[in-house]
Structure 1
Amino acid sequence: MSQQVTEITHRLVTSPGGRIHLVEQGTGPLVLLVHGFPESWYSWRHQLPVLAAAGYRAVAIDVRGYGRSSKPAPRDAYRMLDLVDDNVSVVRALGEESAVVVGHDWGAAIAANSALLRPEVFRAVGLLSVPYTPPGGPRPSDIFAQMGGDEEFYVSYFQEPGRAEAEIEPDVRGWLAGFYAALSADTMPPSGAPDPHFVSKGGTLRDRFPVGRLPAWLSESDLDVYAGEFERTGLTGALNRYRNMDRDWEDLAAFGGAPIPQPSLFAGGGSDASTTWLTDAIKAYPVTLPGLVSSHVLDGCGHWIQQERPDEVNRLLTDWLAALPT
């Protein structure tokens, strides 16, 4: 059902960490949109008006540590349990009892865990780019330390406090441009080139980023928005998500192997390592996501799926939402 699209509204709501900044558009059933690294509510700019026009109350947040949301100082304030609590607090602050939650990248993990831990609040879950993997298994830092041989996996690089900040913060705009380009289908390094997910000894991530060309989905003004946010906030709050992965592993141990039974959707990019490295997780969906409605891998799409292919993602989301039980 198409509705007249209202203007977007910015709001601050109270959360356990202080405040969450959100942007909302439309009226109807609540759809909560959760971004990943290194982004903001703005990564959902193409989805907000379409969801609003389809009859939903679309709400995109700045995750704790980003944008105008609070940035608590303690490193362990960015554990998964806290981010799930933030999502619940947003739903409650908006006067709603339940919501559909959709996440991209780290937001996909936050959305999945929100549905897993609080099924009475999150009645359905959409995951973009990063497949669902149930809690459990080996300690995350041990897994990442074994990847790459003589090179260092980017997650391990991000986990050391201050290290990535020293690389990024002298030139936030340039670093973000390179990072976005490195993971976009039209600008990523060609097959056989050094992998930008790894760091050589004594090097930086930026050494392997493409230079001088923005991906087609990212305009100079879009880049200005992202750079302006991180130039103001710094990167520590965002990077602290990576620095809590072992804490999450401990916090969620009681949910080891747990499936998410609510209706679910997955969409990933065929050229995105976050999707292709986890093909076994996608194959396990009949067990891990027994409520899965549909799963899609978009050929020729990179990591920033809802920005690279907004029309396709919007169609997948609206079709899935329309089929959900009310």
Structure 2
Amino acid sequence: MLKTQSYEVATNITYEYIYVKASGSGDDDDNNARPTLLFLHGFPSSFHCWRHQIEHFSQQGYGCLAPNMMGYGKTYSPLNTDEYRSKSMVEHLVALLNHLHLGKVFVIGHDWGTRPGSRFVLYHPQQTLGLVLISVGYTPPGIIDLDQALESSKQAFGYETLGYWKFFISDDCATIIENNLESFLDLAFTSDPVQWKTDFAPIGKAREWLTNGRRTARASYMTEDDYKIFRQYIAEGMQPKLNWYKAAIANVDGDDEMNVDPTIKRPVLFIGGRKDYVSLISAYSGQKQYIADVETIELETSHWVMEESPEEVNRAIDEWLKRIV
């Protein structure tokens, strides 16, 4: 079990994190030291979702830093939606890197972690060596119009891939999830990925599933201990976690990103799951126009790529890293 630590990245704002130092590094200037990988999790997760990657890459000599993002664990979890600005989160991460005397890092994000991950590279390219996006590809700065996005996805794919956002931004969602934790975990980590297409993504379906307390078989790649950990994080309170969605719909990043160059000037690896019916790989085909050096790898997984096929993910990242370092 890796030791968790905490650091105050700004006044009254503390981040909880796991850190394994790169081997062979007496200090950050050691040229023989392998770089550090900064892992950013998504929803409804925690730094626990990177357990397979931290074990693998720390054994390879890489440094591994995995914070609990805002809203999770002992990390700052405000109820004010306006505080969930990507630029603020990036500055929190920079403060954490500086505290640990880390220079350039590889940023690896999954799900919502891809947003601060990509913004980190936009705002601080000099502190990054490359970016790995898992499940969710690069979305350039711009205003989010949810209704338009829902209509577009229905026309393109036959259903609203982000229809569940309507539920997640509703005022009663947090309470409904907290009161139906087992039902929520079943759907989030279902053994049948198609259920995301039928019972999760379309408008009204996630609410219907939970309020009826429906159950289904959970994925085999999660142990009972893993489920207990996920359950504990959710039971600690859902609203701060759901604020990521509310902040996005409120376009809290609008002013910060108005004049940001959307071009990513670092190598990017995008790993998607062919059985992910929310974050469809084809939905991110346009990211190539913003990234000169991007490689896409498709795996036979659902949304939880790095948990479902950790060896394939580790191997893909490993080979990509070696080409860059």
- Give TM class, smaller chain: 0.7 to 0.9
Q: Does 1:141 align with 2:146?
A: yes
For residues 87-236 of structure 1, the aligned pairs below 5 Å read 87-136=93-142, 138-144=143-149, 146=151, 153-160=163-170, 162-181=171-190, 186-189=191-194, 194-200=198-204, 203-206=207-210, 211-232=215-236, 234-236=237-239
- 1:289 aligns with one of 291, 295, 304: 291
Q: Does 1:263 align with 2:267?
A: yes
- 2:44 aligns with one of 38, 42, 54: 38
How many Å apart are 1:21 and its aligned residue?
A: 0.7
How many Å apart are 1:121 and its aligned residue?
A: 1.7
Q: Name the Cα RMSD after superposition.
A: 2.6
- 1:254 aligns with one of 259, 266, 274: 259
How many Å apart are 1:70 and its aligned residue?
A: 1.4
TM-score (norm 1): 0.85
Q: Does 1:244 align with 2:252?
A: no
- Alignment deviations for residues 151-187 of structure 1 (CA, whole Å, 9 cap, x no partner): 8811122223x32112101132431232221xxxx42
How many Å apart are 1:26 and its aligned residue?
A: 4.3
Aligned twin of 1:3: none
In 1, Cα distance between equivalents of 2:75 and 2:298: 32
Moved more, 162-171 or 55-64: 162-171
How many Å apart are 1:130 and its aligned residue?
A: 0.4
Closer/same/farther in 2, CA of residues 304 and 89 from structure 1, 3 Å limit: same
The aligned amino acid for 2:194 is P
Aligned twin of 2:84: 78
The aligned amino acid for 1:157 is F
In 2, Cα distance between equivalents of 1:105 and 1:95: 27
Aligned sequence identity (%): 25
In 1, Cα distance between equivalents of 2:245 and 2:118: 17
Moved >4 Å (runs of 4+): 147-152, 207-210
The aligned amino acid for 1:168 is I
- Alignment deviations for residues 132-158 of structure 1 (CA, whole Å, 9 cap, x no partner): 12112x533343464669988111222
The aligned amino acid for 2:257 is L
How many Å apart are 1:105 and its aligned residue?
A: 0.4
In 2, Cα distance between equivalents of 1:202 and 1:8: 34
In 1, Cα distance between equivalents of 2:73 and 2:20: 18
Aligned twin of 2:18: 23
Aligned twin of 1:4: none
In 1, Cα distance between equivalents of 2:225 and 2:205: 35
User: 5+ residue gaps in structure 2?
Assistant: 23-33
Aligned twin of 1:298: 299
Aligned twin of 1:317: 317
- 2:8 aligns with one of 11, 14, 34: 14
In 2, Cα distance between equivalents of 1:321 and 1:210: 42
Closer/same/farther in 2, CA of residues 295 and 189 from structure 1, 3 Å limit: closer
TM-score (norm 2): 0.85
How many Å apart are 1:237 and its aligned residue?
A: 1.1
The aligned amino acid for 1:323 is R
Q: Please give the secondary structure, in 2, of the residue aligned with 1:11.
A: strand
In 2, Cα distance between equivalents of 1:237 and 1:25: 27
- Indicate if the aligned counterparts of 1:265 and 1:320 stay in contact, CA closer than 8 A: yes
- Alignment deviations for residues 178-218 of structure 1 (CA, whole Å, 9 cap, x no partner): 2221xxxx422369x73411233894353699723110111
- Indicate if the aligned counterparts of 1:13 and 1:21 stay in contact, CA closer than 8 A: yes
- 2:277 aligns with one of 251, 268, 273: 273
- Indicate if the aligned counterparts of 1:269 and 1:297 stay in contact, CA closer than 8 A: yes
Closer/same/farther in 2, CA of residues 207 and 315 from structure 1, 3 Å limit: farther
Closer/same/farther in 2, CA of residues 209 and 109 from structure 1, 3 Å limit: farther
How many Å apart are 1:225 and its aligned residue?
A: 0.6
Q: Number of paired residues?
A: 306
